[in-house]
């Protein structure tokens, strides 16, 4: 399904978007990737959503990426005898391993690893940062705190520890079960929550065993500090601004977002900007002007994808939210300033033959009347390198591997198309010309750029570029071999 924009849209599925008709409407409105949130829903529900997506993919002959988002090691307080308590600023409050129901002076925090890592002066944030505690004294089974910012604390509210690198396992037992379940289902991307270090990614990759690409969510200060190593270990990145904005001052988030997006672009790895993009559309058919500007900013920065969470999962207007994102994306990408910004932020990093090939493809496409760049790819790397160049013409990613086509649905500007297995470059050119015509990117008299690797079907061998006509008789006449 051809999109008239380059940035991709990720839509989270949930109670408001769980049936065939709604999910299909979301895809037709512009959703390229569907996110399955493993924090919510039982396996049977996840399996049914996966089945529906694959049926829609088959019905529309349109590769769709599925992203399974693991819950991660979520830290929560225990329960209170009264269900909730009011903490006043300046009061003392204790967190401990005692499983007794809490009151206004203490509550259980069933995470000994936190107490082992805490030091006096550390901050603890409760309920998405609405309550701030400062540790005054701590031991292996308790932390005495002063209430810096008070508020209502209730059962099982989340706890963030921004100042400390916690000795937590990257994957909880639930995460490991969920990982195996979704890999057996056949998801394309696996998102890791609360990544702290590159070793967290490597652990998940070992369990995944090549069955899905790994996407790291950046939502902790330690992940920002160690971002270079995390990026190198990951296949993609999500700038998850929710917890990131809790654990860091909110004013720090925009420059971090811009910096991480640029680093991902330079590394030719897809990056999603997520959280609260169209938050008001959970209840309203119209977004705020500030939300529209936020979405536009991520697009101007060159993000590969922008994401909807509760807006499409539990909101009253899921299809309208996707449509709004699609409309904003088209308008931004048609703005002459958009091209100026994108091209000014392009960072050359060309050390291989493939780097040179894709850079040449972009330059040829932009200096002559070329309608599309067609990349033959096994692993997806050639298409990702081409997307890094952010060319002005569409990118058609041709592959005979369904999994590669689906994963490329997340990447900026790449229109994945399935093709048969090839053994000669001339047939690659013919298939590229057919795909460009059938997808509506070019007519018979137009020209395209074709990149491929010889020998065929060997990942990482991109070494050839050709400018070719879209008319097959011309291809045969100019290349009798």
Cβ contact 454:425 at 8 Å: yes
3-state secondary structure of 251: helix
User: Whose CA is closest to 425, among 384, 383, 370, 463?
Assistant: 463
The catalytic position among 5, 35, 269, 390 is: 35
The catalytic position among 217, 241, 265, 437 is: 217
Clarify whether 350 is annotated catalytic.
no
The catalytic position among 3, 47, 54, 76 is: 76
Q: Crossing angle, helix 381-388 and helix 353-367, to 10 degrees? A: 50
Contacts 24+ apart (CB under 8 A), 251-258: 254/297, 256/224, 257/298, 257/301, 258/301
Clarify whether 275 is annotated catalytic.
yes
The catalytic position among 8, 197, 258, 275 is: 275
3-state secondary structure of 248: coil
Q: Is 137 exposed, middle or buried (0-12, 13-18, 19+ CB in 10 A)?
A: exposed
User: Whose CA is closest to 292, among 262, 319, 327?
Assistant: 327
Residue that is written with structure tokens 């069933």 in the block = 110
Clarify whether 2 is annotated catalytic.
no
Cβ contact 22:16 at 8 Å: yes
Give CA–CA dist 244/391, Å, rounded.
31
Q: Is the peptide bond before 64 cis (omega within 30 degrees of 0)?
A: no
Give the residue numbers marked as catalytic: 35, 76, 217, 275
């Amino acid at each position: 399904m051809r999109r008239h924009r380059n940035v991709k849209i990720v839509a989270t599925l949930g109670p408001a978007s769980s049936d065939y008709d709604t999910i299909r409407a979301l895809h037709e409105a512009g959703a390229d990737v569907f996110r399955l949130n493993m924090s919510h829903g039982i396996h049977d529900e996840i399996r049914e959503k996966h089945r529906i997506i694959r049926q829609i993919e088959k019905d529309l002959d349109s590769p769709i990426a599925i992203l399974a988002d693991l819950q991660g090691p979520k830290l929560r307080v225990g329960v209170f005898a009264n269900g909730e308590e009011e903490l006043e600023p300046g009061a003392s409050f204790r967190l401990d391993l005692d499983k007794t129901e809490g009151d206004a002076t203490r509550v259980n925090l069933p995470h000994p690893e936190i107490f082992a890592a805490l030091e006096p002066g550390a901050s603890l944030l409760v309920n998405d940062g609405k309550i701030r505690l400062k540790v005054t004294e701590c031991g292996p089974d308790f932390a005495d705190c002063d209430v810096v910012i008070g508020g209502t604390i209730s059962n099982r509210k989340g706890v963030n520890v921004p100042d400390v690198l916690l000795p937590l396992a990257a994957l909880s037992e639930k995460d490991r079960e969920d990982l195996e379940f979704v890999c057996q289902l056949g998801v394309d991307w696996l998102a890791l929550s609360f990544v702290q270090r590159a070793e967290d990614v490597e652990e998940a990759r070992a369990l995944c065993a090549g069955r899905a690409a790994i996407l790291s969510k950046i939502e902790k200060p330690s992940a920002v500090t160690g971002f270079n190593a995390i990026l190198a270990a990951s296949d993609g990145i999500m700038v998850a601004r929710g917890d990131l904005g809790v654990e860091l001052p909110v004013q720090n988030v925009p420059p971090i977002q811009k910096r991480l997006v640029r680093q991902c672009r330079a590394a030719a790895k897809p990056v999603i900007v997520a959280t609260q993009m169209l938050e008001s559309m959970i209840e309203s058919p119209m977004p705020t002007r500030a939300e529209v500007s936020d979405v536009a900013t991520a697009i101007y920065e060159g993000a590969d994808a922008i994401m909807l969470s509760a807006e499409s999962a539990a909101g009253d207007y899921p299809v309208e939210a996707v449509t709004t994102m699609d409309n904003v994306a088209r308008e931004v990408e048609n703005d002459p300033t958009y091209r100026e910004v994108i091209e000014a932020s392009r960072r050359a990093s060309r050390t291989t033959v493939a780097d040179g090939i894709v850079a040449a493809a972009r330059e040829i496409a932009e200096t002559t009347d070329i309608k599309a760049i067609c990349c033959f790819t096994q692993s997806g790397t050639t298409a990702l390198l081409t997307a890094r160049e952010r060319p002005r013409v569409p990118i058609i990613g041709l592959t005979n591997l369904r999994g590669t086509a689906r994963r490329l649905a997340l990447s900026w500007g790449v229109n994945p198309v399935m093709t048969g297995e090839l053994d000669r470059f001339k047939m690659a050119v013919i298939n590229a010309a057919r795909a460009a015509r059938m997808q509506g990117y070019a007519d018979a008299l137009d020209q395209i750029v074709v990149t491929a690797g010889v020998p065929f079907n060997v990942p990482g061998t991109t070494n050839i570029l050709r400018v070719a006509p879209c008319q097959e008789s011309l291809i045969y006449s100019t290349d009798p071999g």
